[in-house]
Amino acid sequence: MAMKTTAHTLFTIIGRGRLLSSEETGPRRYDTTVYEFPDGHRVEHQLFGLALLQYLRTRREGSAAPTRLVMMGTTGSSWDALALDLADRGDTDALVARAEQLFAAAQDAVTQDMLDPLATAMTEGYGLECRARLIPYGRSKAEMVQTLRLIDREVADGSRVSFDLTHGLRHLPVLGLLSAMVVQQSRTARIGGVWYGAHELRRSGATPVFDLKELLGIADWVTALACYDRTGDVRVFRAVLEQDQVDRSVLGCLVEAGHYDRVNQISRAHGPARAFLDGLPAPLTGISGLFEQDLRRHLAWAGSELRLVDRQRARARAYLAHQDFLRAALAGYEGYVTGLVQAHNQRHGSSLDPMNYRHRTQALNAFDPRAAADAFSLTEGDADQEAATADALRKLIWLRNALAHGTPVRHPELVEALRSPTTLEAYLTALLDTLFTDPPWQPPAG
């Protein structure tokens, strides 16, 4: 995991401002606007990115204030408006840069070489490290990926980033939002804010500003759900629920349940999982409310009188669906042996504990495929099915050992099964279908 740094990079986009004359080409500039931030603080400026920089500096002191500014725009953006702003501050270098930008912008021909001197003037004029970066219009997938890569390269691992989505072509702010999602993962970046100045909602001489950072919670939930689908680990939901202020003691029950479930102590996972569901607010608030149905569905096993064997079998099927073959084989074997224990108790009136290793071994040893009368869930006329079940169990044990220990495989059938993911998935599916004669448990809908 990357270490946190004190760097805070503010990304902003400059678009095409209003022409200063009636000519079709020439200097462009944004109208001066009063921006009102969520806390009521107001900043007056032509460029929202610079208004945001001023706000973050004055209202968010210390490490939260940006230490770097990355201004992005296309070959036709109003870079001259930025040069004019610097010129208003009395920066001589900016005047030179402005003269170059005024002509180039009119021709939609700004180059990175023209922007580098402007970045130097920005650093001097705004008092922090600045970059002026040319980005493509985003006409194609390749151009959009190019912009995402540029942003990713500008972010230090573990640093803080903020995004301004106000100006630019309408799809470029979307890229900015996607970039926030990307750097959260690729750079373990912390998102300081995702800011938007809503000119369309201007009232009483002020344009309201929104922080859309909370929308990233949707991406966090989608990621958590995908992770759960791959692993079956309910603990992945802790962070997203924490963002919506779910009580820590309730989340502690979720973590405890996930721990026991992952170490195959399923009977011990049931209690804390049920306590989590009982303590969960209903309905959930914030972004989590959008995914409450999915969350409760994935934990439905805790809210019912689900048998241990059903949970183990369901996990085996889930692991197999994601080609997690080792876990599928392990869960499948354990699920079948648990079924043997329960069948033994039903048939002989015994009280073997399915969580007791000695009792599990006793039930497994009692299963003799040569004796139809002791076939547990089979009738006396099911000798063929019994033989098939015993054969499937034996092959599952071989396969489990091969996957867990890397032992050499000599049986031609297993050699063929291990040839590819497709053949192994089909082979293991057939084994589980033979062993699990009852349909696998599924959580109730809704």
Q: Got the DSSP string for 357-400? A: HHHHHHHHHH--TT-GGG-SSS-TT-HHHHHHHHHHHHHHHHHH
Residues 203 and 349 placed together within one structural domain of the fold: no
Residue 52: name the closest of 110, 113, 11, 105 by CA: 11
Residue 73: name the closest of 34, 40, 101 by CA: 101
Q: Kindly give the confidence (pLDDT) of every residue in the chain, 446 residues in length, as a single tens digit, with 9 standing for 90 and above.
A: 445 668 999 999 998 765 554 555 555 567 889 999 999 999 999 899 999 999 999 876 545 799 999 999 998 888 878 877 887 776 655 555 565 555 555 568 888 988 888 898 899 889 999 999 999 998 999 999 999 999 999 999 999 999 999 987 777 777 887 888 888 888 889 999 999 999 889 988 899 999 999 888 998 999 999 999 888 899 999 999 999 999 999 999 999 999 998 887 887 898 999 999 999 998 999 999 999 999 999 998 886 655 778 888 888 998 899 899 999 999 999 989 988 888 888 888 888 888 788 998 888 888 754 332 333 344 444 556 677 888 899 999 999 999 999 888 888 999 999 999 999 999 999 999 998 875 433 333 33
Q: Which two tokens stand for residue 238?
A: 């802790």
Domains in the chain, number: 3
The total number of residues written for the chain in this structure: 446
Residues 228 and 367 placed together within one structural domain of the fold: no
pTM: predicted TM-score of the whole model, two decimal places: 0.73
Residue 38: name the closest of 181, 214, 169, 172 by CA: 214
Residues 158 and 33 placed together within one structural domain of the fold: yes
Q: Cα separation of 334 and 61, whole Å? A: 57
Q: Which of 242, 277, 303 is the last residue of a domain?
A: 303
Residues 168 and 40 placed together within one structural domain of the fold: yes
Residues 87 and 128 placed together within one structural domain of the fold: yes
Q: Which of 303, 322, 345 is the last residue of a domain?
A: 303
Crossing angle of helices 383-405 and 421-435, in 10° steps, is 140
What is the distance between the terminal CA atoms of the chain, rounded to a whole angstrom? 37
The answer to whether residue 444 sits within a structural domain is no
The answer to whether residue 3 sits within a structural domain is no
- b/e code 156-191 from CB counts within 10 Å (16+ = b): bebbbbbbbbbbbbeebbebbbebbbbbbeebebee
DSSP 45: E
Domain containing 353 equals 312-435
Residue 203 phi/psi, 5-degree rounding, is -140, 140
The secondary element (H helix, E strand) that includes residue 42 is: strand 42-45
Q: Which of 303, 328, 347 is the last residue of a domain?
A: 303
Q: Which two tokens stand for residue 109?
A: 């021909």
